Amino acid sequence: MHHGLIAAGTLLVSMLSVGCADATSTAQIDGPTTHSSLPATPQAALPPPPTNGWQNKPAGTIVQVSEAPPTSQLVGASQSLFVRYTTVDVFGQPALASGLVLLPAIPVYPDGQWPLVVYGHMTTGAADACAPTRGVPESSELRRMQQGDTLANALLAEGVLVARPDYEGLGESGAHPYLRGDSLARAMRDMASAVRDRWEQTGHRWIAAGHSEGGVAALNTGNRRHPPARGLELIGAAAITPVTQLEVLLTAAGELPVAAPGVDAAVALAALALKGIAITDPEFESLLLKEGGLSDEAVALWPDLERLCLEDLSHEDSWGGLSPQAVKGPRGDEAVAELIREWREDDIRLLPMRRDMPLRIDAGLLDAVALLPLTEALVNDYRSRGYPVTYARWPADHSPTADVAAPAIAAWIMEQFAQ
């Protein structure tokens, strides 16, 4: 997400309030099957995944390591490594996930162990090419893929091992359950377990951090009902511009003009959001794709969600070329009602967090995606429930907040490890 999504946060609403929807497709679609003429988002060539043996390994086990592609290499790391590790998908089945492991140049702790931070990236899309480890110089998503580099380099300079998961279904087989809290938390937790298992220099304590969708991932990792990472103690969670109360955005901007700036990104973002729900809800998917939730034009663009990333989805030749009215289907209102229900149930403000674990939330004063009043309501709600929250605001928009806040976040993280 970036400044192009300023209106997306609110214009998403405009689109859906007139009755549109979108979702992931694992079923056959009746009707149009063509997609836009845009070429698929390019991606780096990486070693093929192992074909057998990994299915019997416990979740959180590294099964493949290689040098990371050039766009994932960080100057502050002694090694930048692409890894595949075992996990469990949203259906409870064994799956592979991928990510980036950044090893610090030297250990700074007397015992020679590296503190561990697992960092979740911001929204890039749902196609395999949207995985940050699949980035290439010509990728339209490169800036968002690298958005966490500033914080990662600051932590590497302190002797911290930084791991960056791609999330379920990004870069590996299966769909990406966009913004689904349990899936995001599992991606963080299983990567932490995998790193601890593979690199014996890793200490026994870790912190979850992330930006936007990654902020949602970090906070969900602090859910006290989730099992711990294997052999590790979670001692903190830091969330940069986490998205909350999406249903407020969904219902607040029905009167915005169709021609308002950012509507192209709003349409693309809505497609991803609805896709995340439909992955596990076949009835919802059927409503959207077969029963009038989407227009014929939108159904025709459906395959783009699995071959294009966010920037390309926002293009006029893809979802971004549809007006809100052109996306809607005759049963769109039903889809909107279900979307609101799902979002409310999975919102980070409802998480049962540990009261003994420090939290940090950073907000952008100019953020029109994770709106400041909603973020502050989240902070106040957490504090009222006894969760220890450090809160900071920065004069920045949604995406730049991660860079502006990076030195302060790194300092806070090191304070937690020092205790």
Structure confidence by residue, pLDDT tens digits, 310-322: 999 988 899 888 8
User: Mean pLDDT score of the chain, rounded to an integer?
Assistant: 87
* Residue-wise pLDDT tens digits, 57-94: 999 999 999 999 999 999 999 999 999 999 999 999 99
Kindly give the pairing relationship between strand 114-120 and strand 161-165.
parallel
Q: Which residues contact 356 (CB under 8 A, 6 or more apart)?
A: none
**Whole-angstrom Cα distance, residue 69 to residue 80?**
9
Rounded (10°) CA dihedral 369, 374, 378, 379: 90
Number of residues written out for the chain = 419
**Whole-angstrom Cα distance, residue 155 to residue 241?**
19
Q: Select from 301, 293, 294, 297 the least CA-distant residue to 318.
A: 301
Take residue 397 and report the two structure tokens written for it. 């928009």
The residues pairing with 163 across neighbouring beta strands, listed in sequence order, are 101, 118
**Whole-angstrom Cα distance, residue 239 to residue 370?**
12
> By the 8 A CB rule, do 354 and 388 touch?
no
Model confidence at 33, in pLDDT bands (50, 70, 90)? Answer: low
Query: What's the whole-number mean pLDDT along residues 189-213?
Result: 97
**Whole-angstrom Cα distance, residue 416 to residue 302?**
45
Model confidence at 275, in pLDDT bands (50, 70, 90)? Answer: confident
Residue type, 162: V
